Amino acid sequence: MGKSASHWSQQLTRTSNALDLEPGVFTWHDPQRIARSLLASAEASQRRKSPPFRSAMSMLVFYINRAGRNLPAEQRAILQQAKEELRRLYDKAAQSSR
């Protein structure tokens, strides 16, 4: 397998056609900041094919899954907390727009 083939997930994360992510968003240590950034990126995107919440959550889950065993337990826990925070933020935003 060539070098480019072995890093396809990194390339996808950087050049996704769905979201323009802030650099290093998945390495941050604040779950609330991660969730806010992902949701803002999803809401601002004109290229996404899914609703903002789904796009943001998909990108987060994709990153966690692709990192696999290489993701340190501490960062995995932070990203799992970010998933919960993303759900909370989305629910709050959905209620305020009703």
* Tokens coding 73: 């337990």
Instruction: Give the distance, in angstroms, between the CA of residue 68 and the centroid of all CA atoms in the same chain.
Output: 15
Closest CA to 43 of 15, 19, 68: 19
- Provide the pLDDT confidence category of residue 56 given band limits of 50, 70 and 90: very high
**Neighbour tally for 40: CB within 10 Å:** 15
Q: Answer yes or no: is pLDDT of 18 > 80.
A: no
Q: Indicate the pTM of the whole model.
A: 0.78
**H helices present in the chain, as ranges:** 3-6, 8-15, 31-44, 52-67, 73-96
